[in-house]
């Protein structure tokens, strides 16, 4: 056996000694801000990062005419190796190019254009503005020493060789394109100020470059170019990748709004594997039994992981109706290998990153690898994965691979509700109508979970940080990691050995019973409602700044003294519907009643919102919590009494 192992290792040494090592070179930017400025090289002041985009030629300060700009990713990569291997790569970016007609120069038009490039060095050629697009100048045009290959988006017919003022071209050490295609036939106008997505693929094996484009109103890419080209003949071994642009006597905005680049990074060094393997062989010979045990444990771990993966497949994917299963490689690429720059937030069970899949923004939650984390992933996939409602965050897919637990959601551009509640920034103050719509949206989502699903769903962790806001500030309830489902014929409570939820949002009876019910969800919703209306945190400092008071007790004091509307957020400066606000505060207190049997159901809550039933009567003094509670019936729905989450006559 030892002889076989040594022979095998010797063959590996010979193989590794003849091969270059290949890794992965990736950069991913769903947007650009000042925090990523150090990632790029800009040879002059004509290129800036501004307004969440790369302004390849500046458009806001100083002269905007006769400029050339260059922006490169700071880390070059090896395009080819001495053994003759050429790296494959793909680049997808969104550009917005707009002719400037507000400059005030009569008879002048925009130009000249923007280009994606691979180049030997980071320098910008002098006198490369205007028709030269920043690629070359009059003396270097056509020279092999330029060492540059570009895909240009040209907006001006500057040469007789140009097709028109609206074409894409492949340039090799020259602005006279080797291949060019007009976009007019696709109904795309480069310089009209609309987003255009460009996808460039280069196959290092077949040595073919392919270019596809898509306008913002188009759903499919159109292949416009497929050109054979051996990049090793035209470019140095190590190249930079980035963008060039120029303006001439006319001006235009040359903006890059997002960019994803991935390539094989061919390492130029070879490992001295022999000097590593020799001591390893000695250790293997001395500790053969230990190695065998490690192999056994590793194999068992792989079998367990495969079995767990199969369990998830059996629960949801086998039906073919659940969320998509992604590979770990896909999600690493989408998030820039979980780059801290793409981090959106952190929670008790994981970190959420912004990513891009198929030119669509997504949120990727990386769950902490624990038994609880695994349970949360299963809970999300098996609950929200089968739910569809306008006020629920959509679960797009999931991944369980190499002990990584990942969930993929639709991206919510306005983040979570709690950041607006807790912020003192005037720009983040939500108006009354938006607050009212948010509360109604959460109520609709809970009514759907409690009363309209084929299986009743208990969320068990309703709080402001789990309520997301889309681009129009519509509420989307998310994070179903603690959720549980029950058949409608079953009792709605769930008994668990651990107490689930977030302190401050948890109904008092949970700590005694360990049970979650529809009423405990209603209690948490009531707390959120008070937070939104009052613009306050869960714990509120009294005037002497010495004692913290729970928001429920704080609002109940205003109710006790008949000045309930004094609890409304002062940042609204009186701009709210008084009757509506007072109704919502009273309803919030009713939802937070210490007796779970007196809390209104979500169906009743919605009827109050819609004016179909009167607001509940709330006692002036907050009742004491007592257990077991009296199963009183305060709210009726179709002559049926809801007690303990179970409907009885």
Environment class of 256 (CB within 10 Å of its CB; exposed 0-12, middle 13-18, buried 19+): buried
Give the whole-angstrom CA distance, residue 127 versus residue 315: 64
CB 119 within 8 A of CB 148: yes
Of 595, 610, 640, the closest CA to residue 447 belongs to 610
CB 420 within 8 A of CB 438: no
Of 70, 33, 30, the closest CA to residue 51 belongs to 33
Which tokens hold the place of 132? 């030269």
Per-residue DSSP letters for 355-419? EEETTEEEEEEEE-SSHHHHHHHHHHHHTGGG---TTB--EEEEEEETTEEEEEEE--TT-BTHH
Angle at 181 between CA 176 and CA 186, to 5 degrees: 155
For residue 215, how many other CB atoms are within 10 A of its CB? 18
Strand order in the sheet with 324-325: 324-325, 395-401, 404-410, 360-367, 350-357, 343-347
CB 356 within 8 A of CB 260: yes
Give the whole-angstrom CA distance, residue 254 versus residue 97: 5
370-387: string of b/e by CB count within 10 Å (b at 16+)? eeebbebbbbbbbbbbbb
Angle between helices 578-591 and 432-447 (to 10 degrees): 40
Give the whole-angstrom CA distance, residue 223 versus residue 230: 20
Per-residue DSSP letters for 107-162? T----EEEEEEEES-SPPPTT--GGGTTT--TTTTT-GGG-EEEEEEE-S--STT-
**DSSP-derived secondary structure letter, 601:** P
Distance of CA 431 to the CA centre of its chain: 26
Per-residue DSSP letters for 301-312? HHHHHHHHHHHH
Per-residue DSSP letters for 566-599? GGS-GGGTT-S-HHHHHHHHHHHHHHT-SSGGGS
- 210 annotated to a ligand binding site: no
Catalytic residue chosen out of the listed positions 78, 162, 461, 521: 461
Environment class of 147 (CB within 10 Å of its CB; exposed 0-12, middle 13-18, buried 19+): middle
The DSSP element (H or E) to which 291 belongs, if any, is helix 288-315
- Annotated active-site residue 461? The verdict is yes
CB 259 within 8 A of CB 91: yes
Of 408, 362, 360, 91, the closest CA to residue 216 belongs to 360
Three-state SS at 204: coil
Per-residue DSSP letters for 432-476? HHHHHHHHHHHHHHHHIIIIISSEEEE-----GGGEEE-TT--EE
Query: What amino acid positions are annotated as catalytic residues?
Result: 461
List binding-site positions for ATP.
Answer: 365
As annotated, the binding site includes 365
């Amino acid at each position: 056996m030892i002889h076989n192992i040594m022979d095998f290792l010797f063959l590996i040494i010979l193989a590794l000694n003849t091969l270059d090592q290949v890794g992965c070179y990736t950069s991913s930017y769903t947007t650009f801000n000042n925090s990523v400025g150090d990632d790029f090289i800009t040879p002059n002041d004509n290129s800036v990062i501004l307004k969440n985009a790369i302004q390849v030629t500046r458009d806001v300060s100083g002269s905007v005419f006769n400029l050339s700009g260059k922006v490169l990713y700071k880390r070059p990569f090896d395009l080819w190796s001495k053994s003759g291997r050429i790296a494959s790569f793909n680049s997808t970016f969104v550009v917005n190019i707009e002719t400037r007609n507000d400059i005030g120069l009569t008879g002048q038009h925009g130009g000249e254009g923007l280009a994606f490039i691979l180049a030997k060095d980071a320098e910008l050629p002098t006198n490369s503005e205007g028709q030269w697009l920043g690629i070359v100048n009059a003396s270097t045009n056509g020279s092999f020493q330029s060492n540059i290959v570009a895909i240009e988006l040209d907006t001006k017919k500057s040469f007789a060789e140009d097709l028109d003022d609206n074409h894409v071209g492949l340039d090799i050490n020259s602005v006279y394109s080797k291949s060019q295609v007009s976009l007019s036939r696709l109904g795309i106008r480069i310089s009209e100020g609309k987003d255009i997505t460009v996808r460039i693929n280069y196959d290092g094996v077949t040595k073919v470059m392919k270019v596809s484009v898509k306008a913002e109103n188009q759903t499919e890419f159109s292949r416009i170019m497929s050109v054979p080209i051996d990049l090793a003949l035209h470019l140095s071994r190590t190249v930079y990748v980035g963008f060039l642009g120029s303006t001439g006597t006319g001006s235009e905005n040359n903006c890059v709004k997002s960019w994803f680049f991935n390539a094989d990074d061919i390492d130029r060094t070879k490992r001295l594997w022999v000097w590593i393997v020799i001591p390893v062989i000695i250790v293997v010979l001395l500790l053969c039994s230990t190695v065998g045990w490690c192999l056994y444990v590793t194999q068992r771990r792989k079998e367990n992981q495969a079995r767990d993966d199969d369990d998830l497949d059996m629960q949801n994917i086998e039906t073919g109706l659940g969320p998509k299963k992604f590979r770990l490689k896909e999600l690493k690429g989408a998030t820039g290998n979980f780059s801290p720059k793409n981090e959106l937030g952190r929670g008790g069970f994981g970190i959420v990153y912004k990513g891009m899949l198929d030119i669509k923004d997504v949120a990727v939650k990386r769950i902490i690898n624990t038994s609880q984390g695994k349970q949360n992933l299963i809970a999300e996939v098996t609950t929200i994965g089968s739910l569809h409602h306008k006020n629920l965050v959509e679960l797009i897919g999931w991944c369980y691979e190499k002990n990584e637990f990942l969930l993929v959601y639709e991206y919510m551009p306005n983040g979570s509700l709690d950041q607006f509640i807790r912020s003192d920034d005037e720009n983040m103050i939500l108006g009354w109508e938006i607050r009212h719509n948010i509360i109604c949206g959460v109520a609709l989502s809970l009514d759907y979970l409690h009363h309209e699903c084929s299986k009743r769903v208990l969320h068990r962790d309703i709080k402001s940080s789990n309520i997301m806001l889309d681009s129009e500030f519509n509420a989307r309830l998310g994070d179903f990691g603690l959720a549980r489902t029950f058949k409608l014929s079953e009792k709605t409570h769930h008994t668990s050995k651990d107490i689930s939820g977030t302190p401050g949002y948890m109904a008092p009876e949970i700590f005694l019973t360990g049970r979650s019910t529809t009423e405990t969800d209603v209690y948490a919703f009531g707390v959120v409602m008070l937070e939104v209306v009052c613009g306050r945190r869960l714990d509120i400092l009294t005037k002497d700044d010495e004692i913290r008071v729970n928001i429920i007790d704080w609002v109940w004091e205003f109710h006790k003294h008949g000045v309930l509307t004094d609890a409304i957020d002062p940042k609204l400066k009186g701009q709210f519907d008084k009757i509506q606000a007072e109704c919502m505060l009273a309803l919030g207190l009713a939802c937070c009643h210490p007796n779970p049997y007196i809390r209104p159901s979500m169906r009743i809550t919605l009827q109050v919102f819609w004016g179909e039933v009167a607001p509940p009567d709330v006692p002036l003094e907050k009742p004491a919590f007592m257990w077991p509670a009296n199963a009183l019936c305060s709210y009726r729905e179709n002559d049926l009494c809801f007690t303990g989450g179970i409907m009885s006559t």
